Amino acid sequence: MNKRIVALAAWIALAAPALAQQQPPTLAANGEGEVMVVPDIAIVTIGVTSRAATARDALAANSTDVNAVLETIRAEGVAEVDIGTSGFSVSPVYEERPAGGRTDQPPRIVGYQVSNQVRVTIRDIATSGEILDKVVTAGANQVNGISFDISDRKTYEEEAIQLAIADARRQGSLMAEAADVRLVRILSVNASAGGGPVFARADFQTLAAVPVQPGQQSVSASASLSWEIAPE
């Protein structure tokens, strides 16, 4: 019995290179898919910067304005979960020295500055311009940027993946026809979707006059397929 096992193992070892050479030939192709979508979410960072002679006074003034801005945002129907602090700082304000002035003395502190930023997700994008106008009126003096996103991104990613796989299948068929071979069966399929929020610049001084336009956003995907092939 042992001799038979040894003989079988030896045969497999000798036959392995030949079996490896008998693996069927393959063909691989890549595909791309893209879906253009109008975003329905606006994400903006709104800030208030306040200055005063003391840190306490600067903080008090800042808190008053920030609370007014937050109340304005809430009054427009934005949920609490869509409002979050993204930055807060208290820093001294130094005197400005005239050109050519003395440099052997450290600059004197002439006041304090408090800055507070909140990140707001506006899910009714049609109200974005009006909300931004109102928060500026309420006391916001910074709009650091605005980005646009898609609430149901997964649906569009799945559509883009389907398009990418269809494109890869089409490319594979074209290559097989050009090479005069036949696609026997699919051996592997890999696909992934990409794309994210689109960022745009926002100037708080002009937002009230200029409507917020999200434009279109690309949701893309890529796919790779491989086939076993045979002569035509």
pLDDT of 129? 87
CATH number at residue 145: 3.30.70.2970
Rounded to whole angstroms, the Cα distance separating 232 from 62 reads 77
Q: Of 6 and 167, which is predicted with more confidence?
A: 167
Q: What's 126-142 look like in SS3?
A: HHHHHHHHHHHHHCCCE
At residue 108, the 3 state secondary structure works out as: coil
pLDDT in tens, 74-111: 999 999 999 999 999 999 999 887 776 666 678 889 99
Q: Of 20 and 178, which is predicted with more confidence?
A: 178
Task: For residues 185 and 221, state if they share a domain.
Answer: yes
Give the β-pairing of 142-149 and 198-200: antiparallel
pLDDT in tens, 198-229: 555 444 444 444 456 777 889 999 999 999 99
Rounded to whole angstroms, the Cα distance separating 50 from 67 reads 13
Lowest mean pLDDT across 6-10, 64-68, 166-170, 177-181: 6-10
Domain range for 170 is: 25-38+153-196+216-231
Of 218, 166, 171, 164, nearest to 192 by C-alpha is 164
CATH number at residue 172: 3.30.110.170
Return the DSSP state at 103. -
Q: Looking at the domain assignment, is residue 211 inside a domain?
A: no
pLDDT of 34? 96
Rounded to whole angstroms, the Cα distance separating 6 from 18 reads 19
Cα 16 to Cα 10, 12, 13, 21, 26, distances in angstroms: 10, 6, 5, 9, 20
Average pLDDT over residues 131-149: 90
Q: Where are the beta strands (DSSP E) in 38-152?
A: 41-52, 83-94, 109-122, 142-149
Greatest pairwise CA separation for the chain in angstroms = 101
Rounded to whole angstroms, the Cα distance separating 42 from 2 reads 74
Task: For residues 129 and 33, state if they share a domain.
Answer: no
Contacts of 101 (CB under 8 A, 6+ apart): none
pLDDT of 196? 61
Average pLDDT over the chain reads 85
Q: Looking at the domain assignment, is residue 62 inside a domain?
A: yes
Q: Is 77 left (phi over 0), alpha (psi -120 to 50) or beta?
A: left
Task: For residues 109 and 120, state if they share a domain.
Answer: yes
Cβ atoms of residues 211 and 161 within 8 Å = no
Task: For residues 50 and 129, state if they share a domain.
Answer: yes
In single-letter form, the type of residue at position 36 comes to M
Average pLDDT over residues 25-52: 95
Task: For residues 84 and 144, state if they share a domain.
Answer: yes
pLDDT of 199? 54
Task: For residues 137 and 162, state if they share a domain.
Answer: no
